[in-house]
Structure 1
Amino acid sequence: MVSQRLGVRLGTSADRDWIFRLRHAVYAEELGQHSTDPAGRLSDDLDDHGVGYLVATCDGSPVGFVSITPPWVGHWSLDKYLSRVDLPLLDAPDVFEVRILTVAAPWRGTGAAAVLMYAALRWVQSRGGRQVVAMGRAELAGMYRAAGLSPTGHTVVAGAVTFDVLAGDVATLADRTQRRYAPVLNRLGDAVDWQLDAPMRPGSDGCAHGGASFDGIGADFRRLHRRREIVAADVLDAWFAPAPGVLEILAEDPAWHARTSPPVAADGLRARIAAARGVPAGSLTLGAGSSDLLFRAFREWLTPASRVLLVDPSYGEYAHLATEVIGCRVDRLAIGPADGWRIDLERFADTLAGADYDLAVLVNPNNPTGGQLPVRALHDMLRRVPTRTRIWVDEAYVGYAGWDQSLASSAAERPNLVVCTSMSKMYALSGMRVAYLISDPATAASLGRWTPPWPVSLPAQLAAVAALRDPAYYAARWAETTVLRAELAAALGAVDPAAVIDEAVANFLLITLPDGGPSAAEVVAACRRDDVYLRDLSPMSPAFQGRTIRVAVKDPAGNARIVAAYRAAVTAALRPAGAATR
């Protein structure tokens, strides 16, 4: 056969007849799994309920496909053969079913099957999938095991065909694929016509930091003029400048700031924070941003034998550190759009009471969903928490909700409560890297043993102290943010009334795109062509279903550019009419 170019794309409604005919030819006529149909077509009820197809092509013509059932469909092909008792994995909110990988006979052995398997992995990754389950023909078990899938111990017989039920951890599969097949993937990158909205090679995962907007500026800082051309709404940096006193002290003697070692333990900053928050100085642990603190604390408190409870979706660094770095057992309390992204504290407390957890994390207000838990409800929940379970509350955005919503004073007294506060987003000091933990003095002293000297740079100490001296300035900016957020939400909502706009308590909002239009990845990519960077939340969690975008609030000019870019992306008919969106 003459060499032809392989490709892969999302199947459209126009592909369905071809897919159903190939399914009939292979699974009814060739393999005898199903009875033959006079119409020569084979489909099932999942085809009417949101199942997606990826299609392999040769020079643009379809030659094979793989079907993916995401968790939001609510049922699986495997439900016909196994109960949830047989295979509890099917009840997980983050499992995707990959099924009926099929290549037409003339193209078997061309690499089309390998392209489809890899494309399915990338598509699942891009939608936040953490586990996959599949039925693989028993005679092809070696191929599936080589890809990293493992038998579950279940076998399914359908007609004349025997299938092994296999499963795999998505992160492990992706790591194995990148390590074992990197040269092949590098070659495929040039040879395959890749048309999925997920990039062929994985970039940042669900805990990406700094967003992609610095890609437009350049990390080598040679094109800093680009910072004025780009709207960086993919990160939650403040839209406003730091307080005037911050700018004055940083401009006063920058040469001295750069060459001078800071106070070794940042005692002046510590005293200023203690006074501002009404807590003892001995209850504070300082760090160069919240990531510095959580890496230091979690590695001190947790081991691979530890059990951790997280909210899903929430700030991705916690899951990354607990699962990928330390290797803890992590359970997730799922929230979703059906309940307005609300964290059910009753269920949270019940979950903690029903198991032996070492640590549980709450982000309040939650990022990226934006909801806020009232402080009174938090106090009620804390009374039910087992004393051996440490509760970590991330209050990076609490100033937007009001300082009266903070648990700071309780954390200074309660041995199993720690509050983490970043000065990055609320005080417009993201570049300075200043954060602090509030805990009981014994916990602070323990963490102090693992705190290096000079944990916060001199410019950062100077800026943070100056910022804390001007609470009125920041209170005014936070109030202004609320107004700008409401205006931005109204303008975005007017672009497409079918989209759902969820205002956060903090400096961002969510857009959930309607079915039948472009995916979040496609809208985000289109906006970047206008130098407007938004955040596709899809890789963080299946709860976003590939359709949710987070948008940081900017100044009026920046917000106007966000709305214009979003309008252009939505109205540009990124998909042909009738195309499948999932």
Structure 2
Amino acid sequence: LHRYPAIAAEQLKEALALRWGVGVENIGLGAGSVEVASQLIHAATDPGDGVMFAWRSFEAYPILSTVAGAVPQPVPLTADGGHDLAAMAAAITPRTRVVFLCNPNNPTGTVLTASAVDDFLEKVPSHVLVVIDEAYVHFNRHPDTAIGMELFRRYPNVAVLHTFSKAYGLAGLRLGYAVGPRQLIETLGKVAVPFAVTALAQAAGIASLEAEDELRERIDALVAERRRVFAGMLDAGLPVLPSEANFLWLAAGADTERLARLFEDSALSVRAFPGEGLRISLGTPEANDRVLSTARTAASLLAPQH
């Protein structure tokens, strides 16, 4: 660890290029996909340019945009927690330079279908970069989902974001990447922090790509737990949304903070968005049992008072 990591991370890029059937020149790396998202915004915008995203979605989008000197362009979600692609297409201005599509969406877990994204991309000007953020792609079992890599191969203004933080379990090592057009990836290299991807992260990424069988077992177990917890929360009477990620969204409105305290009292860490809802990540079966027990208590608190 006294030596600097390979600044270009050639071995990891080669492994990723082989995994996806693209060129090494199409791979850009960073310290987590959030850092690569920052690179994309810096590379594609000038001060005052617009960065569009659904809202609520990944909470780093507006922060990264503002830090880069860009202008956040949030577009409200639909009533069922999905992207309103028609409204997003209509909201594109001459200053819009980047659009983020989070699929599955964080924190609602909803999915963008292939046909809907195709229709959207046909309406987007060719100079606008569309980033398909697939941080939770491994957990997505929706039969009609949009697939980022297919869109990258068909549209010259599409890039795809992936991370090793979720399914691969390397959140503490900070490793993410973009697959994009060669010229864009070259620009990312000019705005990236040198040596941001550590030697340990590079080695772990390569090892993870060689452990696909174990990865599938981990994902299958989590998806089974997701279905069990989702069904249990519905049975308890809670307004939880179907999810294709590793979490569930509980729309709790004004009761959000009260319910968050209830989960915390059961030694469960949930992500509360005051006035909106809770994102409840799937954990071990034992922890998920506690989620369901707490959910039943929460449902009784939310029951109408007569």
Q: TM-score of the superposition, structure 1-length normalised?
A: 0.49
Of 333, 340, 344, the match for 2:75 = 333
What is the rounded CA distance, in whole Å, between the counterparts of 2:99 and 2:74 in structure 1? Answer: 10
Of 515, 528, 539, the match for 2:264 = 528
What is the rounded CA distance, in whole Å, between the counterparts of 2:76 and 2:7 in structure 1? Answer: 42
Q: Does the 8 Å CA contact 1:400/1:478 hold for their aligned counterparts?
A: yes
Q: Does the 8 Å CA contact 2:133/2:160 hold for their aligned counterparts?
A: yes
Of 222, 230, 240, the match for 1:489 = 230
Secondary structure at the residue paired with 1:501?
coil
Amino acid at match of 2:182: P
Change in Cα spacing, 1:357 to 1:453, as seen in structure 2 (3 Å) is: closer
Change in Cα spacing, 1:334 to 1:384, as seen in structure 2 (3 Å) is: same
Matches within 5 A, 1:36-185: none
Q: Does the 8 Å CA contact 1:522/1:574 hold for their aligned counterparts?
A: no
In structure 1, stretches of 5+ residues that fail to align are 1-257, 539-545
Cα distance, 1:574 vs. partner? 9.5
Amino acid at match of 1:427: Y
Amino acid at match of 2:70: C
What is the rounded CA distance, in whole Å, between the counterparts of 2:255 and 2:20 in structure 1? Answer: 43
Secondary structure at the residue paired with 2:110?
coil
Report the counterpart of residue 459 of structure 1 in structure 2.
200
Higher relative contact order (CA 8 A, sep 6+): 2
Secondary structure at the residue paired with 2:171?
coil
1:448 correspondence with 2:184:
no
What is the rounded CA distance, in whole Å, between the counterparts of 2:88 and 2:197 in structure 1? Answer: 35
What is the rounded CA distance, in whole Å, between the counterparts of 2:141 and 2:152 in structure 1? Answer: 17
Amino acid at match of 1:294: A
Of 416, 419, 422, the match for 2:163 = 422
Q: Which moved more, 1:454-463 or 1:394-403?
A: 394-403
1:357 correspondence with 2:93:
no
Between the two proteins, what is the percent identity of the paired residues? 26
Secondary structure at the residue paired with 2:218?
helix
**1:33-53 deviation line (CA, Å, top 9, x unaligned):** xxxxxxxxxxxxxxxxxxxxx
Change in Cα spacing, 1:547 to 1:302, as seen in structure 2 (3 Å) is: closer
Secondary structure at the residue paired with 2:131?
strand
Report the counterpart of residue 563 of structure 1 in structure 2.
292
Q: TM-score of the superposition, structure 2-length normalised?
A: 0.89
**1:271-327 deviation line (CA, Å, top 9, x unaligned):** 11111111111011111101221223322332332122221111110012223x234
Q: Which moved more, 1:449-458 or 1:518-527?
A: 449-458
Report the counterpart of residue 20 of structure 2 in structure 1.
277
What is the rounded CA distance, in whole Å, between the counterparts of 1:563 and 1:332 in structure 2? Answer: 33
The number of residues matched between the two structures is 304
Q: Does the 8 Å CA contact 1:412/1:440 hold for their aligned counterparts?
A: no
In structure 2, stretches of 5+ residues that fail to align are none
Secondary structure at the residue paired with 1:550?
strand
**1:63-90 deviation line (CA, Å, top 9, x unaligned):** xxxxxxxxxxxxxxxxxxxxxxxxxxxx
Secondary structure at the residue paired with 1:549?
strand
Q: Which moved more, 1:313-322 or 1:396-405?
A: 396-405
- Greater CA radius of gyration, 1 or 2? 1
Q: Does the 8 Å CA contact 2:105/2:111 hold for their aligned counterparts?
A: yes
Cα distance, 1:444 vs. partner? 0.8
Q: Does the 8 Å CA contact 2:149/2:160 hold for their aligned counterparts?
A: yes
Secondary structure at the residue paired with 1:502?
coil
